[in-house]
Amino acid sequence: MIAFFRSHQVVFSSFFCLLVSVSIVGSVATGYLKRDPIGPLLLESMRPFQRALTSVANGVQDIQHGFRTLDSLWLENQQLKDQIQELHQEMEGLREAKATNFRLKSLLNVQGRGFRKAIAAAVIGNSASTWSRSLTINKGSDSGVRKGMAVVSAGGIVGQVLAVSSSSAKVLLLTDHNSGVDVIVQRTRARGIVSGSLEQDPVMKYITRNEEIHEGDRLVTSGLDGIFPKGLLVGQVSRVQKKNYGLFQDVGVQLAIDPSRIEEVLVVSAKYDSTKG
Amino acid sequence: MKLFVLFLFVAFLSVLLQTTLLHLLPLGPVVPDLTLVICVYWALSRPSVSTAIGAFFMGYTVDVFSSPILGVNAFALSLVFLSVHLSSRHIWIRSPLFTATLVFLASWVKVSAIVILWSIFLTTQNAWSGALRYIFLEALSVAFLAPVIFFLLSWAENRLAPLRNVS
Of all residues in chain B, the one with the smallest CA distance to A26 is: B121
- The confidence band for B163, taking pLDDT boundaries of 50, 70 and 90, is low
Burial of B117 (0-12, 13-18, 19+ CB in 10 A): buried
State how far the Cα of A272 lies from the Cα of A226, in Å rounded to an integer: 11
Element holding A134 (H helix, E strand): strand A134-137
Q: How many Å apart are CA A250 and CA A198, to the nearest integer?
A: 15
Nearest CA-CA distance, residue B137 and chain A, Å: 22
Predicted confidence at residue A270, as pLDDT, reads 67
Q: How far apart are CA A254 and CA A267, in angstroms?
A: 22
Distance from A69 to chain B by nearest Cα, in Å?
17
What are the backbone angles phi and psi of residue B45, rounded to the nearest 5°? -105, -30
A43 close to B (CB below 8 A): yes
Alpha carbon distance B113, B134 (integer Å): 15
Chain A interface, best mutation among B75, B79, B115, by max A CB count within 10 A: B75
Residue with the larger pLDDT of the pair A33 and B37: B37
Distance CA B63, CA B35 (A): 12
Q: Which residues of B touch A19 (CB under 8 A)?
A: none
On whether any CB of chain B is under 8 Å from the CB of A23, the answer is: yes
Considering only the beta carbons, identify the residue of A21, A57, A64 that sits closest to B75. Answer: A21
Helical residues (DSSP H) of chain A, grouped into ranges = 2-7, 9-30, 39-111
Residues in chain B, overall count: 167
Rounded distance between C-alpha atoms, residue B42 and residue B52, angstroms = 8
| Entry pTM | 0.53
What is the pLDDT averaged over residues A157-182?
A: 85
Is residue A239 within 8 A of residue A215, CB to CB? The reply is: yes
Phi and psi at residue A192, in whole multiples of 5°? -170, 180
Answer yes or no: are the C-beta atoms of A225 and A192 closer than 8 Å.
Answer: no
Show which residues on chain B lie within 8 Å of chain A, measured between beta carbons. Answer: 12, 15-17, 19-21, 23-24, 47-49, 51-53, 55-56, 59-61, 64-65, 69-72, 74-75, 78-79, 81-82, 85-86, 117, 121-122
B79: pLDDT strictly greater than 90: yes
User: How big is the A-B interface in CB pairs under 8 Å?
Assistant: 102
Q: At what angle do helices B49-66 and B2-19 cross, to 10 degrees?
A: 20
CA A191 to CA A193: how far, in whole Å?
Answer: 7
Interface-testing mutation among B22, B49, B79, B86, with chain A (most A C-beta atoms within 10 A): B49
A196-209 burial code (b ≥16 CB/10 A, e <16): beeeeebbbbebee
Enclosing H/E stretch for B85: helix B72-88
Collect contacts of A231-239 with beta carbons under 8 A, ≥24 apart: A232/A150, A232/A152, A232/A156, A232/A157, A233/A155, A233/A156, A233/A157, A234/A156, A234/A157, A234/A174, A234/A181, A234/A183, A234/A194, A235/A156, A235/A194, A235/A202, A237/A185, A237/A204, A237/A213, A238/A201, A239/A201, A239/A215
- Of A14, A18, A43, Cβ closest to residue B64: A43
Which of A12, A15, A18, A21 best tests the B interface by mutation, with the highest count of B CBs <10 A?
A: A21
**Best mutation site among A12, A16, A25, A33 for testing chain B: the one with the most B CBs within 10 Å?**
A25
CB contact under 8 A, B23 and A57: yes
DSSP state of A260: G
Q: Looking at residue B78, what is its pLDDT?
A: 94
Contact at CB, B56 and A56, closer than 8 angstroms: no
Distance from the Cα of residue A255 to its chain's centroid: 29
Q: What letter does residue A115 receive in the DSSP assignment?
A: B
**Residue A277: band (very low, low, confident or very high) from pLDDT cuts 50, 70, 90:** very low
> Which band of pLDDT confidence, cut at 50, 70 and 90, is reported for residue B84?
very high
Å between A52 CA and nearest CA of chain B: 9
Q: Is the pLDDT of residue B167 over 60?
A: no
CA gap A134, A151 in Å, rounded: 11
* Percent above pLDDT 90 for chain A: 13
**Cβ pair B24:A57 closer than 8 A:** yes
pLDDT digits (tens, 9 = 90+) for B63-76: 887 776 788 889 99
- pLDDT tens digits along A98-152: 888 887 777 776 666 667 678 888 888 776 556 667 788 888 888 889 888 999 8
* pLDDT tens figures, A194-236: 988 766 788 898 888 888 889 999 999 988 888 888 888 899 9
pLDDT at B80 over 90: yes
pLDDT the model gives residue A273? 46
**B85 contacts A14? CB cut-off 8 A:** yes
Average pLDDT of the residues in A177-205: 85
Which of chain A's residues have a Cβ under 8 Å away from the Cβ of B75?
18, 21-22, 25
- Better pLDDT: B127 or A51: A51
Q: Considering CB atoms only, which of B20, B74, B86 is closest to A53? A: B20
User: In this complex, which of A10, A17, A29 lies closest to B121 when CB atoms are compared?
Assistant: A29
**Looking at CA atoms only, how far is residue A87 from chain B in angstroms?**
39
Question: DSSP characters for A45-70?
Answer: HHHHHHHHHHHHHHHHHHHHHHHHHH
Which chain A residues are within 8 Å of B19, Cβ to Cβ? 46, 50
The closest alpha carbon to B19, from B74, B66, B69, belongs to B66
ipTM of the complex: 0.84
Q: For residue B43, what are the contacts with CB-CB under 8 A and spacing of at least 6?
A: B51, B55, B80, B81, B82, B83, B84, B85, B88
Higher per-residue pLDDT: B132 or A25 = A25
User: Does any CB of chain B come closer than 8 Å to the CB of residue A63?
Assistant: no
Backbone angles phi, psi at A161, to 5 degrees: -75, 125
